[in-house]
């Protein structure tokens, strides 16, 4: 008989606790200025989980300790790379534009003009991307 194994059961890493998120949040801000606001817990957990598992750690706390104890800085660089969005470009998220084409634009009908508000663009490519579509 084949037993179904739940993904959470197969993952031996304990979930990211609030105090662990706070430790990573402070470390990220202090070392490279990344301000991880409340609500980013899932993002941090998802992006760091691979490093936690890959390093053989069973908790985010163990992983955090290894980062602060690593005198080479390599662990910190790996964490930074995992948490940071490393590129910005035109049409970086093509599914978003496809959604606009398939759902939003047809729903607008013949409305003229169409105003679009884009908040918090990295270097502005997103705004220009709308006008190029």
Residues of the chain with CATH 1.10.155.10: 7-83
Residues in CB range of 98: below 8 A, 6 or more apart: none
Cis amide bond preceding 79, omega within 30? no
pLDDT higher than 80, residue 92: no
Domain 7-83 has CATH 1.10.155.10: yes
Residue 61 scores a pLDDT above 90? yes
**24 touches 44 (CB < 8 A):** yes
Q: How far apart are alpha carbons 34 and 29 in whole angstroms?
A: 5
What tens digit of pLDDT does each residue of 14-41 get? 899 999 999 999 999 999 999 999 999 9
CA angle 22, 25, 27 (to 5 degrees): 110
Give the whole-angstrom CA distance, residue 75 versus residue 69.
9
């Amino acid at each position: 008989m084949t037993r179904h194994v739940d993904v959470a059961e197969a993952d031996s890493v304990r979930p990211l606790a609030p105090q662990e998120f706070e430790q990573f949040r402070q470390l990220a801000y202090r070392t490279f200025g990344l301000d991880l606001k409340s609500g980013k817990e899932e993002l941090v957990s998802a992006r760091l989980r691979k490093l936690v598992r890959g390093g053989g750690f069973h908790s985010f706390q163990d992983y955090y300790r290894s980062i602060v104890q690593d005198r080479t800085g390599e662990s910190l660089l790996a964490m930074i790379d995992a948490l940071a969005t490393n590129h910005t470009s035109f049409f970086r998220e093509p599914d978003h534009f496809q959604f606009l084409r398939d759902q939003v634009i047809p729903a607008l009908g013949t409305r003229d003009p169409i105003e679009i508000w884009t908040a918090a663009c990295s270097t502005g490519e997103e705004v220009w991307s709308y006008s190029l579509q």
